[in-house]
Structure 1
């Protein structure tokens, strides 16, 4: 068995992974083969993160330990790699809410693996990350630093979509959580009923990414959210959609199997507009948050 050497004894080592604000698309994939039997997503990365730290040689402290899934990821990584973790202390931090559609558990797993790559001075290996994720859960594509059309159950990247699109967002979290595994059969039935609409939505979204047109991407994301309303509705959706033009938003987004909903802006909202958005969402009973999503 190999043990850590070199940089592992130099002090605290970290791994960081972004989360998501739900998805710009969730539905069937029409990429060919049998992909249409799985759920395809285009995750909406957000500038909010999960951090995992390992300090070699440090005694255990009062910091939160690894969560169950992250600890499983660490064990699988070490087993697959034939490595032995040196004595030390894990600690974590996250500004991703659990159970609302921010990919918190996937981000925790990826941050843990990125930390381990650094502990052992290994290059980042997407294949190794996918092997670990596939043994633990359905996942978002936060292990990539770009947009992607991704089959979450099969852990397969259908198409990489680059880093040319970005948005400013105003969003809220509605109460409640969704059990993704429990609603999967319901979603698949819905996707079969609305196959033509989803195919058009995905085609428009991919064209928007290919042309670097954020307005086209936002329109397709709005269409995807509207289709989602037919099966897993958001209470605020109709009101948010009705006021989109008033606020000058390019579109809206949702966490299709979560509780997030918000606006997409290709330009940063002015302070006065942020005040208006905050008041609007407060009138719906929610606290508004602002964050930058995507990459551009």
Structure 2
């Protein structure tokens, strides 16, 4: 593939006819290891420590067939593409967008953010431009409250302010068993409810966050799992999961190091520092099956799988 050079601002340039396809990929999340109030630089914000998972969304642009100056079909991805093209004074030639995803929509797996980031990465590749994380954050800030899936490490991310408060490295990762409860959560719609809960339980959230950050800094996987369990229990007070009580009650029986949830979604599951034995996978599958759910297994976070 022949890639076009990056043009200067204010110019308009199409890619050469020899370019045929570009792609961008972005992982999603299994919710968060922490979500709650954060005091940062004298201001209050909503902080998340996202739990990235090895499930992905792809964006493809194929040149030479399809519509003139095409845009992705998904509304948020389309808006991200328009912002990118306008920022750089670019236009796309005739072509076709396509996508594939392994992420459930509306359940807390950061599917829309992953779609936007995959689209932007596709555009960076198509135009032969270096990936610019600051630009990605700026574009996301104009579209939605986002997770930190554009990073390649864990972080405390201020999702409402689109700011990385602290980078937490790549030493923490977990084997997981999880399910997705039915129904979608409107993140924007429940934000006032969450803010009230954060105020009422401020001390508990501060202690939870302090424990999570200390564990991340020390590379203490079990300590991170402990903090995630506390954060999940706090979330249960305001946006409850149907299966939470049963999952929490059986954590020790299954030898799990913690419980995690998508705080504004339907994902809930167990955290394991060590790889699961086959028999334990069978037992977990039966347990969640009795609760009426099909479970999945995945690697989440970073560190050695």
Pairs within 5 Å for 1:1-296? 1-5=11-15, 9-34=18-43, 36=44, 38-59=45-66, 65-296=72-303
Post-superposition offset of 1:4: 4.2
Q: Which residue of 1 aligns with 2:4?
A: none
Question: Structure 2, unaligned stretches of length 5 or more?
Answer: 1-10
* In structure 2, distance between residues paired with 1:105 and 1:118: 20
**Displacement over 4 Å in runs of 4+:** none
Alignment size in residue pairs: 290
- Give the Cα separation in 1 of the matches to 2:163 and 2:226: 26
Q: Residue 72 of structure 2 contacts residue 97 of structure 2 at CA under 8 Å; is this kept in 1?
A: yes
Using the alignment, how far apart are the partners of 1:215 and 1:84 within structure 2?
A: 49
Report if aligned partners of 1:21, 1:44 keep a CA contact under 8 Å in 2: yes
Distance 2:99 2:121 in 1: 13
CA contact (8 A) 2:15 2:93 kept: no
In 1, Cα distance between equivalents of 2:239 and 2:18 = 49
Residue 65 (structure 1) shift:
4.8
Distance 2:200 2:81 in 1: 41
Q: Secondary structure at the match of 1:247?
A: coil
CA RMSD of the aligned region, Å?
1.4
Query: Higher helix proportion, which one?
Result: 1
Q: Report the secondary structure of 2:39's partner residue.
A: coil
CA apart distance, 1:160: 0.8
Residue 28 of structure 1, CA deviation: 0.3
Tell me, in whole angstroms, the C-alpha distance in 1 between the residues paired with 2:92 and 2:15. 10
Q: Gaps spanning 5+ residues in structure 1: where?
A: none
Output the TM-score relative to the length of structure 2. Answer: 0.92
Answer whether contact 2:21 2:61 (CA < 8 A) is retained: yes
Deviation sequence 1:166-211 (CA, Å, 0-9, x none): 1010000111111111111110111011111101100000011100
Alpha-carbon separation, structure 1, partners of 2:73 and 2:221: 37
Supply the distance in 2 between the matched residues of 1:124 and 1:66 (Cα, whole angstroms).
Answer: 23
